Chain A
């Protein structure tokens, strides 16, 4: 009999009746062969591995993170409620100590979903990791959380959500934004003035292989985590760095993914992308589950595995070493960078455009954040889309100081309702979500 060294929980929700569109990569078939492999290997029979049925998330859970325009029902399908619910179920199982580690093998994914949601982008509507984390913070008083995003695409949604949060360390490893969607995630994206250095981007050149990923883990990610001392490590476990993935250009293997998991020792993994549904996912997921549970994974190998064909070029190795050096240096300077980012009480603003590729929506944002040295700082986003929706999103962070709470309320109260379709207030100190608006839902 095989026994797991760490009690490990799984939520498996392949959503066999849900697709973005019939031939979309995010379709019914995506986890079919993974299910076959997981069942055939008998993983659920391993002593210490247990399967949980997901709960659905509530609208409150969603609104702890997102400002959905005009409301959650307009941008989410049932499958999103279940997928986020799967992450939440696993998070609760870990916090309740039913299991030591957990993996939400669910779809659809979520790491491209930002704070304001007008629709889907990068196959994501809501950020399932963030919904889980903010639930755990509200229910279990977790404070310091690290998210390590190992999806091949930059986790720009998660980055956006935690841009101003000094309690959340977000590290994204991904294929260089100059060569892949969403085109962001460079080393100089470090977080807002109240959380500078808490966003860490490690762009990797195309053809990065096992050697490169594992060296980034050992040289950069693990030392940084050790210093940050998170209470919870969450892995956005995208699987599209695999050498056989059809929409990316990396050389990572199932063994590599399992070893990465073994090194990272995440408390919770949440599946993100990965579209080599036959050649990679079945093997990567088996390796990942075995590694999480502390069961020997050395014999997990995908049929097309040929170490010579996917060996990482020397140039790539050199580039990665440089990037790691730069990232570590920025991490060491984070306090100085934050101090230089603004004076307490200043209002820092930025403007940008967000494109929702899945739903073909263009959003314009103007963000204002109160620079604060006592808390994460209140912020507001004035957001309008080319679908003629304009909203104001106001956020008061969990441990907001009195001044930031006041600023948040002032923004909310003083916002003219005739200028916006909706004005939202997300007051995390009270775990409250308030809406001001003249027009009824769906108008």
Chain B
């Protein structure tokens, strides 16, 4: 059986899935100051009375690293950055112990200027003196040639707990994002390692020896052992958990929107043929723009508990939440209270809701019922508008070939899947207003935990070949080989797939044929003078986000 656990802001959801479907589910309150205890309590509740040997998979999605970054509660780490000509790398400073050094690599990976080892030794001495245990090393164009990062790490030696190298965190070009991503990995490394070691140890004590897996922001998971090298990939896994939970009910050959409507916010995502769209750039969190793969999600400050007020005669809903709905003892009227007045919800303090909405109605000079209609419609309208703007944004992303420009795919969702507390009540009106078919995700209360439980292991590999320089390299995989002038685009794809399978296995997955795809495949003849001197090949392949195959039937039974 599988355990999926998702820690949210107010509570943690946990499910136990078996071949027969959802076996058990539980909810425990989140103690933000003691996530370890929260996770353990969740796991204890769900495994009570369950023989440990029947559990063969445990997937956790936590807010541990996200919270630490947002609240700035990370230990000091060292950053050594080799920029070369261009924008002054000092402008990309991430933290206090941030040092820029010499050395330069150009866009094709050729060394322009060497690193001075004396600079590195001086910095190393200083970092040690200040008690720094984690160091990030990043060079411009290190994904074209990591030699300077490797050289700096060699000079730093084994006197630090962990050294993160920029070319290992992501294969794409973006020096400032590579710096931020490397920094975040270094910064969350100690707490991530300590936390999950402790969880694993506690589980072992209960006889649960299966290695734990951790959910990533791209809706995939990785085994704890592998996550030590990429701990920052676990940030912002929460929205991904819900989206993955909706996948089992998404149309296979169509496009759909997913709305996770909560108390404070509504998170939205786009599914194309049952696969969630990925953000082409990377996560932005706590002021850092990163290369961390994530699902394309958008969040707006609109939910069942959004504060409603009248300003200058106009109705304002959200974005802030001041507490629960008045019907549940909250201080200000909310869309939930409007739904009480409209008779959509019945269980709770209808009088308090009525009083709150009546006060607003008086300010608007109308009846409570009309005011409630307007609040409810306003909330639905802003969710639909935000979703349409998100689709428009996705469709207006620049492309770089004539073919994509003229034949490129345009996303046109026809269905909305909703989940979350107030989702059930919103569904009908969303359908009337948008003209989309709206479906409520079954088991929506624990869809996030189900999503974590059933997510497959995802990963990505970038291969870059330059036959004039005679190299093919996959920087993230620490892979370089010498290739001849006949090395082809097809061979590059084969190489990428081979590396992808190895990587997936390392992370705890499979990379089977139906799970993988080529994301980018460009090949250029390099012409110097009037003859072709080589080929420049760029290939990116991935295991797409999706659900593990063995449990497809399980998902089908979740509707029971």
Contact = CB atoms under 8 A, between A and B. Distances in A.
Interface of A: 1-2, 11-18, 22-23, 27-29, 32-33, 35-37, 39-42, 45, 51-54, 56, 77-79, 82, 278, 282-283, 286, 290, 295-296, 299-303
Given A41-B175, A82-B405, A299-B85, 4 more contacts: A17-B402, A40-B174, A45-B177, A53-B396
A151 to B, nearest CB: 21
A283 B107 CA distance: 10
B447 to A, nearest CB: 33
Contact of A37 (B107, B403, B522, B526): B107
Nearest to B106: A303
Interface stretch (B189-197, B212-220, B367-375, B528-536): B528-536
Interface residues on B, range: 35 or more
B406 A78 contact: yes
B479 interface: no
Given A295-B87, A300-B86, A42 B176 contact: yes
Contacts of A33: 107-108
B150 to A, nearest CB: 18
B456 interface: no
Contacts of B112: 303
Interface in B174-208: 174-177
A79 B402 contact: yes
B87 A53 contact: no
Given A16-B401, A45-B177, A299-B85, A1 B287 contact: yes
B527 A22 contact: yes
B524 interface: yes
A29 B87 contact: no
Nearest to A24: B527
Nearest 10 A/B pairs, CB to CB? A42-B176, A301-B85, A36-B107, A39-B173, A40-B173, A17-B401, A53-B398, A29-B524, A303-B112, A16-B401
B148 to A, nearest CB: 14
B524 A16 contact: yes
Interface in B388-422: 396-403, 405-406
Contacts of B530: 23
Contact of B87 (A17, A28, A79, A290): A290
A18 B107 contact: no
Among A40, A286, A296, the most chain B Cβ lie within 10 Å of the Cβ of: A40
Contacts of B91: 2
A29 B173 contact: no
Interface of B: 85-88, 91-92, 104, 106-108, 112, 140-141, 144, 172-177, 281, 287, 289, 396-403, 405-406, 522, 524-527, 530-532, 536
Contacts of A78: 402, 405-406
Contacts of B172: 39
A91 to B, nearest CB: 17
B398 A27 contact: no
Contacts of A17: 401-403
Contacts of A13: 398, 400, 405
B525 A29 contact: yes
Contacts of A79: 402
Contacts of B524: 16, 28-29, 32
Contacts of B403: 17
A54 B408 CA distance: 13
B285 to A, nearest CB: 14
Contacts, number: 112
Nearest to A283: B85
A42 B177 contact: yes
Contacts of A290: 87
Q: Which of A28, A35, A302 has the most CB of B within 10 A?
A: A28
14 contacts: A13-B400, A13-B405, A14-B400, A17-B401, A17-B403, A29-B525, A35-B400, A41-B175, A45-B281, A51-B398, A52-B398, A53-B398, A303-B85, A303-B112
Contacts of A77: 402
Contacts of A300: 85-87
Contacts of A14: 400
A82 B173 contact: no
A370 B91 CA distance: 59
A17 B176 CA distance: 29
A418 B522 CA distance: 51
A190 B113 CA distance: 48
A53 B172 CA distance: 21
A50 B287 CA distance: 18
A36 B396 CA distance: 21
A73 to B, nearest CB: 14
Contacts of B527: 22-23, 27, 29
A40 B107 contact: yes
Nearest to A39: B173
A299 B83 CA distance: 10
Nearest to B91: A2
Instruction: Specify which of B107, B112, B406 lies most central, judged by the most chain A CB atoms within 10 Å of its CB.
Output: B107
Contacts of B536: 29, 32
A165 B156 CA distance: 66
A303 B87 CA distance: 15
Nearest to A27: B527
Contact of B176 (A15, A45, A301, A302): A45
Contacts of A301: 85
Name, among A16, A82, A282, A296, the residue most crowded by chain B CB atoms within 10 Å (CB to CB): A16
Nearest to B141: A40
Contacts of A282: 107
A82 B141 CA distance: 30
B393 to A, nearest CB: 10
A25 B214 CA distance: 50
A333 B524 CA distance: 52
B86 A286 contact: yes
B466 to A, nearest CB: 11
Contacts of A42: 87, 92, 174-177, 289
A282 B84 CA distance: 14
A321 B325 CA distance: 77
Nearest to B404: A17
B532 A23 contact: yes
A315 to B, nearest CB: 31
A23 B85 contact: no
Nearest to B179: A42
Nearest to B88: A299
A17 B281 CA distance: 23
Contacts of A2: 87, 91
A439 to B, nearest CB: 29
Contacts of A278: 107-108
Nearest to A12: B398
Contacts of B532: 22-23
A195 to B, nearest CB: 36
A300 to B, nearest CB: 6
A411 B149 CA distance: 71
Contacts of A29: 524-527, 536
**A11, A13, A56 — which one has the most chain B CB atoms within 10 A of its CB?**
A13
Contact of A12 (B176, B400, B405): B400
Contacts of A295: 87
A283 B398 CA distance: 22
Given A15-B402, A18-B402, A299 B87 contact: yes
Contacts of B173: 36, 39-40
A287 B397 CA distance: 24
A35 B406 CA distance: 21
B188 to A, nearest CB: 21
A37 B86 CA distance: 9
A51 B289 CA distance: 17
